[in-house]
Amino acid sequence: MSETLRKIRSETLQRPQALLTGEWALFLDIDGTLLEHAEHPDAVLVSDELRSLLQGLDRKLNGALAFITGRSVAAVDQLFQPLKLRAAGLYGLEHRFSPDDDVEIADEPADIAALADEIEAELGRGQVYIERKGRVLAIHTRAAPHLLARATQLVEQALASLPKGYRVVAGNAGVELLPLEAAKGAAIRRFMDIAPFVGRRPVFLGDDTPDENGFEAINDAGGISIRIKPSAHTAAQYGLGGVAETLTWLRGQL
């Protein structure tokens, strides 16, 4: 079935079933899903209650829980310390298949660094936050929403001068430049090929445009896809009203 046909209107989404049964694996976006968005990515706070919830879910699933996020794995560890979980960072450019594994860090290419400098010079330091994540470049405009269109235009124009293999993804409050291989769906599939995920039914919760690729991979695998606070057409099968409702639903799975 084509991607267009698989998209459904957000207002038709129902809540996911109250209790997941059987053998399942859980994949979680972070910002906008587990944590409310902030004007700056470093301004979010993780409560002890959330750490305890994630630890409990990880224990229940015998380790079949992983973050699937645009943040780097190092940033995730800093945010949730001392808790360390399996994770795919930078949309799958980084992986940690076990909490004790090392992570190969994605370096920033010179052309992406130069582009970041140019965008920051034009849009103004302090108005937008330019997040340099190796081969991923994110321009956050939550503090200056009027600059989103211009930020998107600058990144799209830059595609012509960059090596092939990049794409632009516009989100709820910013725009990102990503390598084609940086995709949440591919990251989820890598986890599903290894223990303790293999053979389980996958469940993925996310809230933004980059999560759509993950929803499609989950649907193809016969899993459960859930979009948080849906506001547009989506491939997700179910919806939850926001972070608070998401945490309540997750607590119900313990």
The closest of 33, 26, 101, 112 to 71, measured between CA atoms, is 33
Please give the single-letter amino acid code of residue 80. F
Q: Using CB atoms within 10 A of its CB, is residue 96 exposed (0-12), middle (13-18) or buried (19+)?
A: buried
CA pair distance 118, 188, nearest whole angstrom: 34
Which listed residue (29, 207, 208, 211) is catalytic? 29
Tokens matching residue 23: 């053998």
In this structure, are residues 239 and 13 in contact, taking their beta carbons and an 8 Å threshold? yes
Integer-rounded Cα radius of gyration of the chain: 18
CA dihedral over 161, 163, 168, 173, signed as positive or negative: negative
Structure tokens at 223: 């899993």
Active site residue 111: no
Query: What is the C-alpha separation between 248 and 31, in angstroms, rounded?
Result: 16
Catalytic site residues?
Answer: 29
